[in-house]
Amino acid sequence: MSCAIVEKTLYLIQSDNPILKLQGARDIRRLTKSCLRYRRYFSDAIKPLVDMLRHSESVEYNEAALLALLNLSVKDEGNKKSIIDAGALEPIIGFLQSEKASLQEHATASLLTLSASSVTKPILTSFGVIPLLVDILRCGSPQAKVDSISTLYNLSTSQGNLTLILQTEPVSSIVTLLKSCKKSSKTAEKCTALLEPLMSYDECRKALTSEEGGILAIVEVLEIGSLQSQEHALGALLTMCQSDRCKYRELILREGVVPGLLELTVKGTAKSKEKAQTLLRLLRDAPYERSQLQPDTLENIVSNLISQIDGKEQTGKARGLLAEVIQVSMDQSLRRLHQRPMVCTPVDLSIAGGASTISST
């Protein structure tokens, strides 16, 4: 790294000459784009960059300063705090309401990086950013919406912020974004991550079910989303069903959730497997009744559910996945049998051969 480059760039950004200052901001953006060390060396540039935001009405100046500050804050906790302490939040929040799409996008991206720190989350909340971010989610540019949902998720993990988000009635906007994005994307992951805790509230569940295709969008993430997205989607549906099984069971079943749940019992994470099995229990006709003729096995539960599925395609897929579940269950039972002592009683063999209960998958 050249000290001369750092010194020259700091000279430019601290200059009183507007042209030189603009060049300095652009150079800082370029140099800090992928170099963590430059972010540390240019910490002295934070105050003049914030001054550019606070005292200039030029879109060109504001964009250059925003982008430079954005890069300086990435993965640098010290710079995040310094940017806030220098007074950057007021102009950044103002740009959220700008008619200039680029300023709105850069401001939202800046808040996203700042919200990644546990230290800065309460500060952002105290400045009232949550309602403004939900407004972006409703009517912002596509890129601003993507950054807004990620920022809201970051803030939701701070104590008390989920209640503040709830007050903005965000579910409709979250579902709209979820329906429009790729179900395997990071955006879908953040949408479902935010929806999962919101489903603990009755008003949010009502908002979701009133949105056409709302439950279906979550089911689609459950089927083809990332592993993390699948866990969140599953958690949202499970929370709904646990809150009022009679009310939500049919709505969830109607969207063809069974094949996706079956696949997760075989291929999901440990947490997904457990949640999928629990939801399958809740979705069957009589989840709390047991019978000697119909033991509480995954096969019997799913067979009961398959009989309720409409459509040949879904039924065929569910039956195929059920066969895979049964095979996996048998394989697990055989592995456990081989791991036991060599001397086994006939009772042991009988139990191991029939151990295809939900707990074994």
The Cα 18–Cα 322 span in angstroms is 69
> For residue 178, how many C-alpha atoms fall within 13 Å in the half-sphere facing its CB?
31
pLDDT of 292 strictly over 90: no
Diameter of the chain measured on Cα atoms: 91
pLDDT of 240 strictly over 70: yes
Q: How far is CA 195 from CA 174, 207, 216, 231, 254, in A?
A: 8, 11, 14, 12, 20
Q: Are the CB atoms for 183 and 226 separated by under 8 Å?
A: no
pLDDT at 268: 86
- pLDDT per residue as tens digits for the range 34-79: 888 889 899 999 999 999 999 988 999 999 999 999 999 999 999 9
The Cα 275–Cα 281 span in angstroms is 10
Q: Are the CB atoms for 117 and 80 separated by under 8 Å?
A: yes
Please tell me which residue, 337 or 123, carries the higher pLDDT value: 123
- pLDDT per residue as tens digits for the range 82-91: 999 999 999 9
The Cα 283–Cα 209 span in angstroms is 17
pLDDT of 300 strictly over 80: no
Q: Any idea what the Cα angle at residue 247 is, between residues 244 and 250, rounded to 5°? A: 120
pLDDT at 303: 54
Query: Average pLDDT in the 287-296 region?
Result: 45
Domains of the chain: 1-87 (1.25.10), 266-361 (no CATH)
Query: Average pLDDT in the 106-126 region?
Result: 95
Residues paired with residue 297 on neighbouring β-strands, in sequence order: 357
pLDDT of 141 strictly over 70: yes
The Cα 296–Cα 287 span in angstroms is 9
pLDDT of 183 strictly over 50: yes
- pLDDT per residue as tens digits for the range 190-226: 999 999 999 999 999 999 999 999 999 999 999 999 9
pLDDT at 284: 81
pLDDT of 302 strictly over 70: no
- Give the chain's mean pLDDT: 84
- Other CB atoms within a 10 A radius of the CB of residue 342 amount to 5
The Cα 148–Cα 152 span in angstroms is 6
pLDDT of 297 strictly over 50: yes
- Other CB atoms within a 10 A radius of the CB of residue 345 amount to 8
Tokens (6 digits) for 24: 């300095």
User: Confidence class of residue 137 from pLDDT cuts 50, 70 and 90?
Assistant: very high
Strands (E), 117-172: none
User: Confidence class of residue 344 from pLDDT cuts 50, 70 and 90?
Assistant: very low
User: Confidence class of residue 2 from pLDDT cuts 50, 70 and 90?
Assistant: confident
Q: Are the CB atoms for 140 and 108 separated by under 8 Å?
A: yes
Token pair 């993965």 is found at 75
- pLDDT per residue as tens digits for the range 146-169: 999 999 999 999 989 999 999 999
> Which residue in 190, 141, 143 sits closest to 170, CA to CA?
190
pLDDT at 42: 94
Please tell me which residue, 52 or 268, carries the higher pLDDT value: 52
User: Confidence class of residue 232 from pLDDT cuts 50, 70 and 90?
Assistant: very high
